[in-house]
Amino acid sequence: MRQLLLDITQAPSPSFENFVPGRNAEALAALRAAAADRLAERVVYLWGESGAGRSHLARAFTAARPGARLVTGAGYDGDPAGTLVVDDVEGLPEPRQVTLFNAFNERSHALIVVTAGAAPKDVALRRDLATRLATGLTYRLLALTDEEKREALHAHARARGFALSDEVASYLLTHARRDMPSLIRALDALDRHSVETGRPITVPLLKAALQPELTGTAPEASR
């Protein structure tokens, strides 16, 4: 049961494959194309509320694009990497905003991918830099609703060959990590445990697996 708990509560490494796009399919397709060097634009700007998957996609793109360098806004040091990924670009201090503005004008980066909590016209950056970052592709990321998450869980269960009860889906959405990759990982772990033990996937089984977690602080959903 301890291994099942670890499988359920450990967040998986972000990838394109474990990102459930929902209404963000166009943004995902653009990033896949960019990772494969099939995108003409120099900038991809992703913005949206917390929980929409900004950081997940930034990390997934970095893993998929050879030579890409991922930094947070606060950690950007001006290193002229060929492909630069800046997660939470609002965190750039003023001097580094100037550095990134100059790097853009000097074409120091073949491609820049940034994430933010606001659209380019509203982002808390220098206007000259925000304008440059808006010259490529801009996508607003929309967080999955609980109903969309529920539908995704049911679809994933069907793909694995079993029927997921509404009770188990509801319990997962209420008590497990709420980001979609972690929910899918939890479902996969439950399916493996069910096959290995011959026990059905039920709420009592899920409660037993998650009970140690319920006594502590619930993990936060990923951005």
- Max Cα–Cα distance, the chain, nearest Å: 62
Tokens of 151: 């539908």
Whether 60 is in a domain gets the answer yes
Whether residue 40 is found in the same domain as residue 132:
yes
What angle in degrees, to the nearest 10, is found between the helix axes of 146-160 and 180-197? 30
Whether residue 150 is found in the same domain as residue 137:
no
Whether residue 85 is found in the same domain as residue 63:
yes
Question: Residue 123 is part of a domain; what is its CATH number?
Answer: 3.40.50.300
pLDDT digits (tens, 9 = 90+) for 193-209: 888 888 899 998 888 77
Domain boundary residue, one of 141, 167, 198: 141
Whether 127 is in a domain gets the answer yes
CA–CA separation, 114 and 89 (whole Å)? 6
Quickly count: other Cβ atoms within 10 Å of residue 66's Cβ: 9
Whether residue 150 is found in the same domain as residue 118:
no
CA–CA separation, 14 and 4 (whole Å)? 20
Q: What is the pLDDT of residue 13?
A: 83
Query: Using 50, 70 and 90 to split pLDDT, how confident is the model at 11?
Result: low
Q: What is the pLDDT of residue 5?
A: 56
Whether residue 187 is found in the same domain as residue 115:
no
Whether residue 27 is found in the same domain as residue 131:
yes
Q: Say whether pTM exceeds 0.75.
A: yes
Question: Domain range spanning residue 190?
Answer: 2-9+144-214
Tokens of 194: 């069910």
Whether residue 90 is found in the same domain as residue 149:
no
Whether 16 is in a domain gets the answer no
The total number of structural domains in the chain stands at 2
Q: What is the pLDDT of residue 8?
A: 56
Quickly list DSSP for 127-163. HHHHHHHTSSEEEEE-PPPHHHHHHHHHHHHHHHT-P
pLDDT digits (tens, 9 = 90+) for 32-91: 999 999 999 999 999 999 889 999 999 999 999 999 999 999 999 988 889 999 999 999
Whether residue 47 is found in the same domain as residue 121:
yes
Whether residue 49 is found in the same domain as residue 74:
yes
Q: What is the pLDDT of residue 104?
A: 96
Give which of 7, 9, 44 is closest to 24, Cα–Cα.
44
Domain boundary residue, one of 95, 125, 141: 141
Whether residue 101 is found in the same domain as residue 160:
no
Whether residue 135 is found in the same domain as residue 173:
no
Whether residue 35 is found in the same domain as residue 125:
yes
Domain boundary residue, one of 92, 111, 141: 141
